[in-house]
Amino acid sequence: MRAYLPEYELKPAASLTEALTLLSDEPGVWKPFAGGTDLMVLFEAGKLLHKKFVNIWNLPELRGIEVTPEFVTLGALTTYTDVQANEVLQQEFPMLCQAASETGGLAIQNRGTLGGNIANASPAGDSPPALLVYDAELELVSTQGSRFVPYNGFHTGYKQMRMREDELIKSIHLPRVSKPLLHYYRKVGTRKAQAISKICFAAVTQVDASEIKEIRIALGSVAPTVIRCSRTEDVLRNRKVNAETISAARLELAREISPIDDIRSTARYRLRVAQNVLEDFLTSLN
């Protein structure tokens, strides 16, 4: 059953200050509405429980991509189309561009935002694994000011975050690195386009003399939140890629993730595919 439109209120915010004041004055009553690509699905299905939203789509303070020697800063309203069009992101953060290109169709890529993808807090999101391995940092803003939090650990449980009801995600900061890294991104879904992932895998590594010196691995759709696989990283660091290393990494990954059965897949399938994708990534390093 579709939702009944008159039951909902969408209030436009003329400025970031106005939006933050509304969230502060009535905490929990108002929620931000940006591209709407997730919320409108719930609305059409009659499952959008919250009724009051503040429209932040037109706020310039939340837009733009800024490049400095240390960081690339993306406004929370940066769309997937914006990501794909940016040359610095293409060169230095290719997995984020690939994730953006594999998210929904063109209409969703034109409206869906990075900040919205993070705030939606789905473990099946396409961009969060890439953001995790790129050591992203979030700027949260409220009437009390700004604070910065690492994206790693930002999600504390299913649909739960380290963000207060009076805060918005203002921007995402990606630290730039000068040393060459190898990037690997893989989304496994029912089909090539417009599919929610069964698993989503992202990794970056630096290899020296066939030995893994630096490595970061993140997965989506295998736990209540998108996760960094730090224990699997520890197993791989300072080791050469061979059959013994791959076997040890597969075993540790199985202990580190906790996939479930749902409408899209089974826990057994997700576990096996996650291990196979990890092995494919490691094999590609040789």
Say which CATH topology domain 182-283 has. Answer: Enolase-like; domain 1 (3.30.390)
Answer whether 123's CB lies under 8 Å from 221's CB: yes
pLDDT tens track for 38-76: 888 888 888 888 999 999 999 999 999 999 999 999 999
Whether the pLDDT of residue 208 is over 70: the answer is: yes
Whether the pLDDT of residue 193 is over 70: the answer is: no
Instruction: Give the strand pairing for 145-150 and 137-142.
Output: antiparallel
Answer whether 70's CB lies under 8 Å from 175's CB: yes
**What letter does residue 54 receive in the DSSP assignment?**
E
CATH 3.30.465.10 is the classification of domain 60-175: yes
**Using CB atoms within 10 A of its CB, is residue 74 exposed (0-12), middle (13-18) or buried (19+)?**
buried
Give CA torsion, residues 207, 212, 213, 219, to 10 deg. Answer: 100
Whether the pLDDT of residue 95 is over 70: the answer is: yes
Answer whether 172's CB lies under 8 Å from 136's CB: yes
Give SS3 for 4: coil
Report phi then psi at 106, rounded to 5: -60, -40
Better-predicted residue by pLDDT, 195 or 14: 14
Angle at 77 between CA 101 and CA 162, to 5 degrees: 100
pLDDT tens track for 230-261: 999 999 999 999 999 999 999 999 999 999 88
**Sorting pLDDT into bands at 50, 70 and 90, what band is 210?**
confident
Domain boundaries, the chain: 5-55, 60-175, 182-283
Strand partners, 241: none
- Closest listed residue to residue 56, CA positions, set 17, 98, 2: 17
Predicted pLDDT of residue 1: 61
Answer whether 133's CB lies under 8 Å from 203's CB: yes
Burial letters for 98-119: b for 16+ Cβ neighbours within 10 Å, e otherwise?
Answer: bbbebbbeeebbebbbbbbbbb
CATH class of 5-55: alpha beta
Lowest mean pLDDT among 2-11, 17-26, 153-162, 204-213: 2-11
